[in-house]
Structure 1
Amino acid sequence: HKKEMKHLSVIICHLVMFLCVSTIIPFGDGRKFHNNCQKYHKNYKDSCTSTTTIFNILSFGAKANRVSDDSKKLVATWKMACKTPEGVLQVPSSHKFLIKPVTLQGPCVGHVTLQIDGALLAPSKIGSWSKSNLFQWINFKWVHNLTIQGSGTIDGQGSNWWAPVKSKHVLDIKPTALRFYASEDIIVRDITIKNSPQVHLKFDNSRGVKVDNVTILAPENSPNTDGIHLQNTRDVELMHSDIGTGDDCISIQTGCSNVHIHHINCGPGHGISLGGLGKDKSIACVSDILVENSNIQNTLYGARIKTWQGGIGLVKNVTFSNIQVENVHFPIVINQYYCDRSLCQNQTGSIAIKGVIFTKIIGTYSTQPIHLACSSDVPCTDIDLSDIQLKPSRGPLGGSQVQQLLCSNSYGTSTGSLIPSSIKYCLNKGGGGGSVHQVSRSYDEVC
């Protein structure tokens, strides 16, 4: 009797093991790795579960020789991870995969992790891109609950796109490296993104975004290579990251709200910017933006808001706080006459700007400490300059072309320790008149 019971127990044990393996390893392409979960998720212990399953792109036939197109293999691996409650798409270390433009589409069954420890390479030759795929390289669409992480690199190999020579393949469109469209609850952390043909990391019509400890790199002379670009996106936290490109380190466009940016090292580039907003008389609405505890060095601009003439809308409740600047040409900027070409037509009307705080902006500038060029039709109101300490840069060129600060059609208060001392006379007192408040209220309704 005991021998029979023991034999029955062994059979049951084997049956249970078979069922478990069959469930966790679909088609033999995944493997349970709960014991090594921290290796993949680092300090984020809450993302580890007993049912996490990993799908290695090499298991789906990827060559990883930098020549063969592994795009279809990436998509096939994504589809399997997307069908799994806790799927992990693994790009292993010491491997480089050539990936042509792809869309990784959701929604998925559960949480998906894209673990990048190797390198993803974009086609370096412009002729390798079809005209239908010039908007983005790796596109995430309708994806909810996704984490992208790892010690690897996403390399846009964009140097051929930066040359001013026109190509019949390029027209005026250049691809973004990573784009998220209509996605929610996205985490991007630890990876390096570099040398995108244009924008490196874009979030469009999304919400619930967190970017942590990423490195974004492109040469200072690479045009329009913004680091992180937000558009129609809300509930965002960007933190503890190093960004140096040929354009804005962070660009915040229309439709963005509840954005918290902190502990960013920015430079080279064009600083941290809202805009340009309102181009071609379009509607633009941005609110509740906080940028704090960051360093901006060797950039053209520091903390900036830029809008086009003729636009409609409202920028409100924006704070730049505790920003250390070093050798920045224009550390504090509001420009309601933004123009990115040699000549722009003068237009009446402007996007209203109110409730903007610049506080504890400290460091050195090379051209002009403050540049507030606001519209005579719709002046900037409720502007607060407090504890601003900006001195000319030292060195053979520092301070040689220093300009006096500009404060045009700007209303608010200047308080605290102010260097240069002329800042205390920068802002007009009052609210800019009843017509300004009326315009602001009407734009509030539009937004």
Structure 2
Amino acid sequence: MSPPMKAFIMFVILVLGVRNKCSASRAIRKRPILGRSLIASASKSSNPYGGNSNVVDVTTLGAKGDGVTDDTQAFQAAWKAACVLDSATLHIPAGYRFLVGPLTFSGPCNSNILLKVDGTVIAPINPKAWASKPLNWINISKLNGITILGRGTFDGQGAAWWKLSQSYYKYSSKGGSTLPSVRPTALRFYGSYDVSVQGITIQNSPQCHLKFDSCTFVTVANVTISSPANSPNTDGIHLQNSEDVEIHHTSMACGDDCVSIQTGCSGIRVHNINCGPGHGISIGGLGKDGTKACVSNVSVYDSNIHDASNGVRIKTWQGGIGQVKRVSFSNIQVSNVRVPIDIDQFYCDKKSCPNQTSGVYISDVTYEKITGTYVQNPVYIACSENVPCTNLKLINIQLQPAVANGVDPFCSNNYGEQQSSVECLQPRRPLNDPSHTQSPAEQC
């Protein structure tokens, strides 16, 4: 073999060796997710969706679904299994009643998770299950991309709590043991981004049914919420410190606000809602115990409210600070509602509250095409002399008494424009408008 040919062969061998070494190096750096193959293989044996999809069925991890056996640990194990998979589905299958005590589904997880709820999940009423006094039944925390979807039901079995004293709960059939005095919320989302709840039913919660706290980009659609009208403090959907929320095509019957919008909320859209019985759709109460409250950019439209104590409402406590601004209520049909349009800057849920000069400033609120029947007042706008409501609008308000001899609107310290037969607003803006007099620290 000639020297040039030997040199060429040696060069080819050297290049191939380097390429193989680099490939091996890349293979070593590609680390698998810990435990992924083990969990996936364990769930394949009874995968209801077939194939190699990353589905974790709670029944494969020990959940009985007989309505008697405590399935809490099986649900917790299923969550842990799903949390480490890519685009996992945690499946709660139809045809079962899973008895599940207080639990937390927390992140961060490997990727988005779908919680597919087709069966029924029921809360325990044995006080021993609530010995730790949790504030929530099912707490979903710190997730980036979580969807609850299905035709299943979460049943809080709240009657065991409602029928007893609101300050002291006694469950006599369990040897005199007691339920906690603070009733838990059924489903609570905290500190999560890109949240979707669709199709499910939440019923008979001990307290609030569905709560979002410190969440961003939230969608609630085609959900049914149901509790009796006399069930205490059973808000349908409660929002606080959350932004960019849309709630639509949802039906709510409860013993408190169908939708409750609290401080720290902005970019809220509520539409195509059926509310009743209940206390209507409310912003507040805000500013309790002198706190600062900020709510802005809220739209409620194309909805029905019936057999309710209130229609669309803003309620604030005396002594608070902050601001509610850029709010619109439009195309709302009411039926047999005590007060369809309600602003109350003197909100008090006690026998009496002390008079105070400060208050949460309310401005830029529009009511347009609110129609139907009322029981007490068509409009009740009670604003503070020191912190009046400004830039209000009443447009095309058509409200008739449900019974004879309806009461006239009640209005005080409110300013704006009206294009309606219901006369309530004063036209001139006051010189002591708080938007000019409040300190920067009080503005939102």
| TM-score range relative to shorter protein | 0.7 to 0.9
1:101 shift after superposition: 0.2
Pick aligned residue for 2:287 from 254, 278, 282: 278
Amino acid at match of 2:299: L
**Superposition RMSD in Å:** 2.1
Hey, what does 2:22 align to over in structure 1? none
Hey, what does 1:347 align to over in structure 2? 356
Hey, what does 2:415 align to over in structure 1? 411
1:434 shift after superposition: 3.6
Q: 1:32 to 1:159 in 2, by over 3 A?
A: closer
Alignment pair present for 1:148 and 2:162: no
Q: 1:171 to 1:23 in 2, by over 3 A?
A: closer
Q: Residue 195 of structure 2 contacts residue 217 of structure 2 at CA under 8 Å; is this kept in 1?
A: yes
TM norm structure 2? 0.86
1:53 shift after superposition: 1.4
Hey, what does 2:23 align to over in structure 1? none
1:170 shift after superposition: 4.4
Hey, what does 1:439 align to over in structure 2? 437
Hey, what does 2:404 align to over in structure 1? 399
Hey, what does 1:77 align to over in structure 2? 78
Aligned to 1:132, the other structure's residue is in SS state coil
Hey, what does 1:362 align to over in structure 2? 371
Amino acid at match of 1:79: K
Distance 1:27 1:75 in 2: 19
Q: Residue 31 of structure 1 contacts residue 53 of structure 1 at CA under 8 Å; is this kept in 2?
A: no
Q: Residue 126 of structure 1 contacts residue 160 of structure 1 at CA under 8 Å; is this kept in 2?
A: no
Pick aligned residue for 2:208 from 192, 199, 220: 199
Amino acid at match of 1:399: A
Q: Residue 131 of structure 2 contacts residue 180 of structure 2 at CA under 8 Å; is this kept in 1?
A: no
Q: Residue 51 of structure 1 contacts residue 86 of structure 1 at CA under 8 Å; is this kept in 2?
A: no
Count how many residue pairs are aligned between Structure 1 and Structure 2. Answer: 401
CA offsets 1:317-342 (integer angstroms, 9 cap, x no match):
00001001111000000000001122
Amino acid at match of 1:28: A
Higher mean C-alpha displacement, 336-345 vs 238-247: 336-345
Hey, what does 2:394 align to over in structure 1? 385
Hey, what does 2:428 align to over in structure 1? 430
Q: Percent identity?
A: 47
Alignment pair present for 1:262 and 2:264: no
Q: Residue 212 of structure 1 contacts residue 238 of structure 1 at CA under 8 Å; is this kept in 2?
A: yes
1:437 shift after superposition: 2.8
Amino acid at match of 2:235: D
Hey, what does 1:167 align to over in structure 2? 169
Amino acid at match of 1:27: S
1:124 shift after superposition: 2.1
Structure-to-structure mapping, 1:301-320, within 5 angstroms: 301-320=310-329
Q: 1:359 to 1:268 in 2, by over 3 A?
A: same
Aligned to 1:63, the other structure's residue is in SS state coil
Pick aligned residue for 1:26 from 40, 57, 60: 40
Aligned to 2:404, the other structure's residue is in SS state coil
Structure with bigger gyration radius: 2
1:103 shift after superposition: 0.6
Alignment pair present for 1:334 and 2:338: no
1:24 shift after superposition: 9.7
Q: 1:316 to 1:408 in 2, by over 3 A?
A: same
Pick aligned residue for 1:322 from 327, 331, 336: 331
Hey, what does 1:242 align to over in structure 2? 251
1:226 shift after superposition: 0.2
* Unmatched tracts of structure 1, length 5 or more: 1-21, 38-49
Distance 2:439 2:427 in 1: 20
1:433 shift after superposition: 1.5
Amino acid at match of 2:410: L
Distance 2:284 2:180 in 1: 24
Q: 1:356 to 1:440 in 2, by over 3 A?
A: farther
